[in-house]
Amino acid sequence: MRVATALCLALLLAACGKSDDDPGPGGVTLGEARALDEAAAMVEASGTPPSAAAR
């Protein structure tokens, strides 16, 4: 019984988080903001100057 209760509570709490479609910073969704952050990290990790990446 305790396991079932704990599982139900965990599922309910997981549903309380923000979705990717919620508004985020700068007028983009949270999912878009996360994708932009990941792309920026990849560019920075590659060692390529930003001006070269734009070409």
Amino acid, res. 1: M
C-alpha to C-alpha distances, 14 to 2, 9, 19, 49, nearest whole angstrom: 18, 9, 11, 40
Query: What is the pLDDT, as a whole number, of residue 2?
Result: 77
Identify the pLDDT of residue 38: 92
Q: Identify which has the larger pLDDT, 25 or 53.
A: 25
Can you give the pLDDT at residue 15? 61
How many Å apart are CA 18 and CA 46, to the nearest integer?
A: 31
The tens digit of pLDDT for each residue in 14-49 reads: 666 666 677 777 888 888 888 988 998 988 888 766
Tokens 């479609």 appear where?
Answer: 21
